[in-house]
Amino acid sequence: KAGVTQTPRYLIKTRGQQVTLSCSPISGHRSVSWYQQTPGQGLQFLFEYFSETQRNKGNFPGRFSGRQFSNSRSEMNVSTLELGDSALYLCASSLVGTTTDTQYFGPGTRLTVL
Amino acid sequence: AQSVAQPEDQVNVAEGNPLTVKCTYSVSGNPYLFWYVQYPNRGLQFLLKYITGDNLVKGSYGFEAEFNKSQTSFHLKKPSALVSDSALYFCAVRDPMDSSYKLIFGSGTRLLVRP
């Protein structure tokens, strides 16, 4: 079974622009979560989607948003990019998103904001 | 509030020797605990998890972890380290009483296995 895929793998943007990242979960998985990884803050939870609905959201500004499609694929969008948004963005999928589920991570999208 | 501590930024061990990567946690209820490994320019790879039952959990690639409730610890171990085990290791906790479902990660421990 194919793993979690994320596109693109690398992105370079300038301040003020917006960006959209894509995530395809493992086949059959319906829950998709997003995390931001930076050297200073470590791994932080952004949000989680299940059946096209955002169920949970982390402590990030409204510039960070996401959505999930009927095939469970998910996108996240960051508007008005800031230098501090430079990070590795990781997507993780799990079967139904219960507390005992294992989250399986994709390779990430490396975003650099200049 | 939930939290995870990985007290060592780096662990150095010789190939063939046993390794331990330490993790302690703080949650309000009984924790669900996870270990992940990250290789350069890669995402996180799942190693093992503790939900309930036997305190010794066996996972991928010969890794195991021991849940100790009294010491609130979940240390990762391997009897014989390989050079290819060199990577960044993350401990994570999920509080079943927290409806947000998110994983709380430690800061990571870099494991360096020398030949």
| Gap from A10 CA to chain B (nearest CA, Å) | 11
**Across chain A, what does the average pLDDT equal?**
95
Mutation test of the interface with chain A: which of B4, B23, B39, B100, choosing the one with the most A Cβ atoms within 10 A? Answer: B100
Cβ of residue B60 closer than 8 Å to a chain A Cβ = no
Cβ of residue B70 closer than 8 Å to a chain A Cβ = no
Interatomic CA distance for residues A89 and A33, integer angstroms:
11
In this prediction, residue B97 carries a pLDDT of: 80
User: pLDDT higher for B64 or A97?
Assistant: B64
Cβ of residue B12 closer than 8 Å to a chain A Cβ = no
**Nearest Cβ partner for B108 among A42, A104, A106:** A42
In this prediction, residue B73 carries a pLDDT of: 97
In this prediction, residue A98 carries a pLDDT of: 82
In this prediction, residue B1 carries a pLDDT of: 78
Contact A102 B34 (CB under 8 A): yes
Contact A45 B103 (CB under 8 A): yes
In this prediction, residue A70 carries a pLDDT of: 96
In this prediction, residue A58 carries a pLDDT of: 92
The percent of residues in chain A predicted with pLDDT above 90, rounded, is: 92
Q: Which of B47, B63, B60, B21 is nearest to A103 (CA)?
A: B47
**Across chain B, what does the average pLDDT equal?**
94
In this prediction, residue B95 carries a pLDDT of: 84
pLDDT tens per residue, range A1-42: 789 999 999 999 999 999 999 999 999 999 999 999 999 999
Q: Give the dihedral of Cα atoms B7, B75, A99, A93; nearest 10 deg.
A: 80
Q: How confident is the model at residue B76 (pLDDT cuts 50, 70, 90)?
A: very high
Q: How confident is the model at residue B66 (pLDDT cuts 50, 70, 90)?
A: very high
Question: Which are the contacts of B101, defined by CB distance < 8 A and separation ≥ 6?
Answer: A31, A33, A48, A55, A56, A97, A98, A99, B94
